[in-house]
Amino acid sequence: MTLSLGKDLLGLEALSGEQIKLILDTAEPFKEISLRAIKKVPTLRGATIVNLFFEASTRTRVSFEFAEKRLSADAVNVAASGSSVAKGETLVDTARNLEAMKIDMVVIRHGASGAAQFLAERIDSNVINAGDGTHEHPTQGLLDLLTLRDHFGRIEGLKVCIVGDVLHSRVARSNIWGLQKMGAEVAVCGPRSLLPNAIDDFGVTVFRRVEEAIEWADALNILRLQLERMTAGYIPSLREYNRVFGVSRERLERAPRDVLILHPGPMNRGVEIDSDVADGPFSVILDQVTNGVAVRMAVLYMLSGGNPQLAVRSAAGSANA
């Protein structure tokens, strides 16, 4: 079986547990680079990468940009607003025009599920999915896995509950697939209106009450209530959501064990997560952000080459070099 990631990283659903483990293992040495005084290695010198963001993003875009720059790639940011996309140019035309300027990789964030794959099938450059609609956000899933592994020393056997707006969450899907492939037990918890109808097909436990989830879990991944997608009246009110599903210190104190707290950001403090939980002793929310840069460096590094397994052999062959 090949461990190569191939040309693109579109989601975790298509990857094997071994491939995911290889990405996490590759991310480990990249953590150190961000701690150096000179946070830069020459690995991707001369590579040109376009960050094509059709949706608003601070964390993910900046994280990719740091990852690219710390590998010495040349990165260009294109935001949909203020670009020719606003003039009605199609996704493929935009990408083909960029490719005509001889680029090597595209990092794409798009509101439509499947946009990254659509693009990957039509251009020669490597494509990295930085979030497509409600489908996947693979690098977020990977950084969540890395953060869990850092803390617990393993992923296999961990009980992780994803809390909140699973319906609209690409982070939830990437997490469910990634965690299951790495051998974790996955549960979800949220109002019925914010869980997908097909939730039973995911092979996850469903908790109706957040108290049950807290009692069961080693770690909670608390999703952002996507206020901008809340036009259809999924919940009665933010206050009621907080009262029923909000993760508070009082609720966590009743747990039989310390529960690790993850959140992909940006947080709605006082809605899905209370401030004293977000800033509390079991929160690893900022560790997630730190790990994001390392994970993205690892993905860029691996996609820019081919099969790392082959390389182990060729490195052994040239060990005398």
Partner 1 sequence: MADEILELNNGTEHLVIVGIQRRGVQLAAQIVSLITEREGADVPQGALDITLYRDDLQTVGPRPVVGQTRIPVDLDGVNVVIVDDVLYTGRTIRAALDELADFGRPARIALAVLIDRGGRELPIQPDVVGKTITIQPSQRVDVLVEELDGRNAVVVAERESEAGT
Interface contacts to partner 1, rule CB under 8 A: 4, 25-26, 28-30, 32-33, 36-38, 40-43, 46, 71, 301-302, 304-312, 314-315, 317, 319-321
Question: Are the C-beta atoms of residues 57 and 296 closer than 8 Å to each other?
Answer: no
Q: Between residues 237 and 314, which has the closer beta carbon with respect to partner 1?
A: 314
- For residue 4, the minimal CB distance to partner 1 (Å) is 8
Q: Between residues 4 and 83, which has the closer beta carbon with respect to partner 1?
A: 4
- For residue 138, the minimal CB distance to partner 1 (Å) is 18
Rounded to whole angstroms, the Cα distance separating 37 from 195 reads: 45
Question: Are the C-beta atoms of residues 179 and 155 closer than 8 Å to each other?
Answer: yes
SS3 for 43?
Answer: coil
Question: Are the C-beta atoms of residues 268 and 226 closer than 8 Å to each other?
Answer: no
Q: Between residues 41 and 206, which has the closer beta carbon with respect to partner 1?
A: 41
- For residue 321, the minimal CB distance to partner 1 (Å) is 5
- For residue 35, the minimal CB distance to partner 1 (Å) is 10
Q: Name the token pair of 239.
A: 């206050």
Q: Between residues 36 and 257, which has the closer beta carbon with respect to partner 1?
A: 36
Classify residue 85 as left (phi > 0), alpha (psi -120 to 50) or beta.
Answer: alpha
- For residue 297, the minimal CB distance to partner 1 (Å) is 9
Backbone angles phi, psi at 182, to 5 degrees: -90, 5
Q: Between residues 270 and 306, which has the closer beta carbon with respect to partner 1?
A: 306
Question: Are the C-beta atoms of residues 147 and 291 closer than 8 Å to each other?
Answer: yes
CA distances in angstroms from 41 to 30, 44, 294, 297, listed in the order given: 10, 8, 13, 11
SS3 for 24?
Answer: helix
Rounded to whole angstroms, the Cα distance separating 299 from 26 reads: 8
Q: Between residues 48 and 304, which has the closer beta carbon with respect to partner 1?
A: 304
Q: Between residues 141 and 308, which has the closer beta carbon with respect to partner 1?
A: 308
- For residue 311, the minimal CB distance to partner 1 (Å) is 4
Q: Name the token pair of 102.
A: 């001889």
Q: Quick count: other Cβ atoms within 10 Å of Cβ 124?
A: 10
- For residue 309, the minimal CB distance to partner 1 (Å) is 8
Residues facing 163 on adjacent strands: 189, 222
